[in-house]
A and B are shown apart, each in its own frame.
Chain A
């Protein structure tokens, strides 16, 4: 079934006590529910990721997407804000963790919260979802084709992302990873390295690598969209949330 929902742009307290913009979608016909923080991709706090946020509410979860580029360009169009963030070197990891911690606190303060919170991120957000799972007390983590989880991004680029694999021993909840077999960042070999690290750390995880799919196969408005992989991926996501935070 799908739920009735309400979606609003709100302000939350992020890293260092900063007030940042966020998009909140909540089911309105449930008394208690689990929650999820949605981490947007590098192109930003955009319409497509807001639609994803609402989809979680329609499936019975309170979902909150912080605008990770709010400080760079408050009130700007998402693509303009993303351009500023990139030119400034991207989102620092510590600031990201602080912003997601603020989102988690906000979700837990909702009257409908059952106290459990997951994270999900796409593309650059996939790595960031894994990172926050290592540094915050999250009950579950979903990584959708996050690059640079096991290797650092190119050293010569001013936009940096450092590998997260060394921190996976700190994960407190299970991990769901969804990847494309034709993706090179992360490549199937890199996801195997991540899986080996999770196994070595004794962490519970489920990885699915979809044949015929590359990067960003969930993006319905982009040529990378692969309907069969995305449909099956969404089924995996909701089955995972049902057993971890519902």
Chain B
């Protein structure tokens, strides 16, 4: 099925695209048909800079368990970093 299940958010980031590093502004998170990952459905993340064109995109497709592990690893790493470092790049 096409789940249509989608969330979008703004973010501050940089990503490496085929054109090199560029600023990223938005992310789309969804669970739907992957383009490459060998499964009927996958958790997908598109990190994008809409102002820089459609190719300014870093894409990930992964199974649900990998997505949960990744999300938890991100939160775990962030929880271990001193507070003053977390606000450094803001």
**Chain A residues close to B by CB (< 8 Å):** 41-43, 46, 72-73, 76-77, 79-84, 86-87, 90, 123-124, 145, 147-148, 153-154, 157-161, 183-186, 214-216, 222-224
Contact = CB atoms under 8 A, between A and B. Distances in A.
Contacts of B5: 154, 157
Interface of B: 1-8, 26, 28, 30, 32-33, 35, 38-40, 46, 48, 50, 53-55, 57, 59
A232 B7 CA distance: 37
B35 A87 contact: no
A50 to B, nearest CB: 15
Contact of A79 (B3, B35, B40): B35
Given A41-B2, A185-B1, A215-B1, A87 B54 contact: no
Contacts of B1: 123, 145, 147, 183-186, 215
A76 B46 CA distance: 15
A216 B26 CA distance: 29
22 contacts: A46-B35, A76-B54, A77-B54, A77-B55, A80-B55, A80-B57, A83-B48, A83-B54, A83-B59, A84-B48, A87-B8, A87-B26, A87-B46, A124-B2, A147-B2, A148-B2, A159-B30, A160-B4, A185-B1, A185-B2, A215-B40, A222-B33
A144 to B, nearest CB: 12
A87 B4 CA distance: 11
Contacts of A145: 1
A216 B35 CA distance: 13
A48 B54 CA distance: 20
Given A76-B54, A123-B33, A185-B1, A224 B40 contact: yes
Given A83-B59, A86-B6, A214 B33 contact: no
A220 to B, nearest CB: 14
A215 B80 CA distance: 43
Contacts of A90: 4
Contact of A42 (B2, B28, B57): B2
Nearest to A85: B54
Contacts of A46: 35
